[in-house]
Structure formats: structure tokens, C-alpha cells
Chain A
Amino acid sequence: MDKIKLATIWLGGCSGCHMSFLDLDEWLFDLAAQVDLVFSPIADIKTYPEGVDICLVEGSIANEDNLELVRQARARTKVLISFGDCAVTANVPAMRNPLGSAKPVLERCYLELGDVQTQIPHEPGIVPPLLDRVRPVHELVPVDAYLPGCPPPADRIRTFLEMALRGEPLHLKGREMLKFG
């Protein structure tokens, strides 16, 4: 039997969910025996491949690159999973949303608080433009399951992935599996 193709992507987040994923320690060997990691920030693969079975999406959708990557991932993945609070609720990155749009955020960061050569970055094709609103993943592409937590503890990720690998329904219950924050 072919191995399951697993991908993880990192959008607008702190990479804490990926750090928590690496906290799985020696269980990662067991996981590696069952899956092929075909795309991930912890593997040097440049393009998101076709025919991915499971994808964990860390982070909210905060800029145009995030949006493009998540749309690509959705189109090429069977089971797309919102991985961590930023993906599920938009969380901390979305704390800029009440300011209304990207402009006041950029002005505050790069002009008002800038030290020398204050300017708003503008490099089309290199620096992705911010979206006006940071959004959770499921508001922009359909999501199959949700794994909340900031970050989800390693044990929760393991239990969840084991359920996913067995093909069980991915509905979480109880404080150990479901808590936000």
C-alpha cells in the first residue's frame, strides 16, 4: 500500500503549531513510517504537489501569498485541516482587524514606529501585500476538520493524526482535545 501523503503549510502564524508538531519527538519516526511528508516548512520542497491526502494548515490568511497557497492546497488535497487557533479563529494576527484595513497597520509599524529610512515596503512579487482583514482559513476555503489550540499540545496532535490515519471522523471532544488558547 502506498504511504499517505502528508503536507503541512504555514500561513499567518508564529510557527508555534509546527514547533508543537516537532514536540512529537520519537513518535515522528512512527509517523514517518506511515506517511510521506510531501510539502512542509520543515522540508525543502518548493511547490505544493498534486494528490496530497492530508494537509495541516497553520496560521490565518493575512496576505496574498497566504491566500494563494491555501487555495492551491485546497485544490490539491483530500483532507484539509485547520491546525491551531490562528487557522481556526484567526487569533492573534487578527488583532489588527479592528483597525479597519492594512493601511493603518503598515503606517503604524513602518512610519510611526520606524527609526531610520521610514517607508512602507513595496516590492511586487517579493513582499506579499497584506489583506485588509486577517481571516480564519474556513472563511475562504472549505475546511474538513479543526484542531484548535494555541498551540495544540503535541499529545493532542498525535491523537488527532492517529484518528486521521485510521480514517475516523475528526470531531474532537473534551478539554484535552478541544480547548482554544
Chain B
Amino acid sequence: MSVRTLRINGIDVAVESGTSILAAAKQAGITIPTLCHLDGVSDVGACRLCLVEIQGSNKLLPACVTEVAEGMDIQTETPKLQEYRRMTVELLFSEGNHVCAVCVANGNCELQDMAIAVGMDHTRFPYRFPDRDLDVSHPQFGIDHNRCIFCTRCMRVCDEIEGAHVWDVAQRGAAVRMITGLNQPWGEVEACTSCGKCVEACPTGAIFRQGSTVAEMQRDRSTLEFLVTAREKKEWTR
């Protein structure tokens, strides 16, 4: 095992080569805000909340998909980063139709938590109010595209943990949307095992259990964590 030594927020850190900056910071007890990162599945750098400053580079780099290098000097909480993080959250709010007051995930939403964490009291960007639909064709679950932030966590848990690959990303730019199957109604996708991992993975109220009313949704992320680590720790009962 080769080791890389670096500094994060002035703290000396030694980690295995190939480790991401996000994981290295975690080992050093430094929390970097994330939305699209989910322990146990691959990282894609979709949300851009984990951007960090690296001395010698004028680019801000996403900590989740940037590997550590020898001698790196990383800052995770500069005023510039805090400003960009707040802007990112504001853009997420103005880009979709996030109405906390009527959302199943109100009070249990990572986007809402992030808005509180970055101190967002309003968004300075004009709201887009896109026309997006809702799919409740699945007997147990539903997706409200108005609340989707395209973190693709649902896609990654379905593909990498459940192995069903029901979810995918279609279109691009402002027209981007999560689809099920080959853009079929979710209820018609035979590959779906109704395991509910996408429901557990979704950071907002976009994917929900049918019948949940406003602020009623509770998620148990430990289920996903258990599934991911159980393989490594051989915790299966048979």
C-alpha cells in the first residue's frame, strides 16, 4: 500500500493512494457538504457541493471524484467556496419546483438541510417553474419530477446494489429527466423488483412511498449502509 501525505484545512493527513479527497477529509474528521454522494456506491460529481480549493490550481475541484496526490494543500471552507456552495443550492431551488410546504420529505430532506447549512434565506436567481410531471404508475412508489435534483443516487443504488438498473438519465441541459426502463411508466418496467432502495437513496421527496402525506416521509439510510457493508463484512445470515 502506497501512502500519500497531504494537508486539509491545515491538518496533516496520510491516506492510501487512490483515496478521494472526500474520503481523506472524512478520515481527518472534516465534513465536506455533499448531496449526490452516497456511501457504498460510485461517485459521479453531479451536485458540485463538495468543491474544494487546491493550492496551485485556479480550478475548484469536486472532492468526491478527485484523488489525493502527494503534497496537496486543500481548503474546504474558504469564503469563496461557501459563496459558491450557497449559489449551487440556490440554483437547485430555482431550477426545479421545490415547494417544501407540500412535500412528503418536509423536515426530512437533504436539500432542505443543505439550504439551512449554507444559510440560504432566499434565492437570488429567477425561478424557472418548469412543467414537470408525476409518475404514480408503480403500485407502491411514485416519482415527482418537480422535486428531482438529478443527483442520480436512485440510478446508482438500483444499478450497483440491487443490480436491476431500472433508472437512467434521459435528455440533457434543462430538459434532463430521470427515466424508468426505456422511458416507460415505472409500473410497466419488468426489471423493477420493488425493493425500495431508490426510495431510501433519494435525498429529496422526489421518490416516495405512495400514501405518504406532507412531512410524513421518514427514511432509513442505515438499510442501504447495511447492504453495502454487509458484503464486505460477510454479515449475511446464510
Measuring CB to CB, which residues of chain A are less than 8 angstroms from any residue of chain B? 82, 85, 88-92, 94-95, 97-100, 133, 135-136, 138-139, 143, 145-148, 150, 171-175, 178-181
Determine the chain B residues whose CB is within 8 A of the CB of A147 once the complex forms. 121
Do B116 and A174 touch across chains, with their CB atoms under 8 A apart? Answer: yes
Determine the chain B residues whose CB is within 8 A of the CB of A148 once the complex forms. 121-122
Do B112 and A95 touch across chains, with their CB atoms under 8 A apart? Answer: no
In the bound complex, how far is the Cα of B112 from the Cα of A172, in angstroms? Answer: 15
Task: Name the interface residues of B112-141: CB closer than 8 Å to any CB of A.
Answer: 112, 115-116, 119-123, 126-127, 129-132
Closest B residue by C-beta to A172: B121
In the bound complex, how far is the Cα of B121 from the Cα of A179, in angstroms? Answer: 8
CB distance from B98 to the nearest CB of A (A): 8
CB distance from A62 to the nearest CB of B (A): 13
Measuring CB to CB, which residues of chain B are less than 8 angstroms from any residue of chain A? 93, 97-103, 106-107, 112, 115-116, 119-123, 126-127, 129-132, 215
In the bound complex, how far is the Cα of B130 from the Cα of A99, in angstroms? Answer: 9
CB distance from A96 to the nearest CB of B (A): 9
Q: A174-B116, A179-B112, A180-B115 are in contact. Are A85 and B100 (CB under 8 A)?
A: yes
Determine the chain A residues whose CB is within 8 A of the CB of B121 once the complex forms. 88, 145-148, 171-172, 178
Selected from A89, A91, A173, A181, the residue in CB contact (under 8 A) with B119 is A173
User: Top 9 nearest A-B pairs by Cβ distance?
Assistant: A181-B100, A97-B129, A150-B101, A98-B131, A146-B121, A181-B106, A180-B100, A146-B122, A88-B122
Q: 20 A-B Cβ contacts within 8 A? A: A89-B123, A89-B127, A90-B127, A92-B99, A92-B101, A92-B102, A95-B102, A98-B97, A100-B131, A135-B127, A138-B122, A139-B127, A147-B121, A172-B119, A174-B116, A175-B116, A178-B115, A178-B119, A179-B100, A180-B101
Do B112 and A181 touch across chains, with their CB atoms under 8 A apart? Answer: yes
In the bound complex, how far is the Cα of B127 from the Cα of A133, in angstroms? Answer: 10
CB distance from A145 to the nearest CB of B (A): 8
Do B126 and A139 touch across chains, with their CB atoms under 8 A apart? Answer: yes
Known contacts A150-B101, A172-B121; 18 additional CB pairs below 8 A are A89-B123, A92-B102, A95-B97, A95-B99, A99-B131, A100-B131, A133-B129, A146-B121, A148-B122, A150-B100, A173-B119, A175-B116, A178-B121, A180-B100, A180-B101, A180-B112, A181-B101, A181-B103
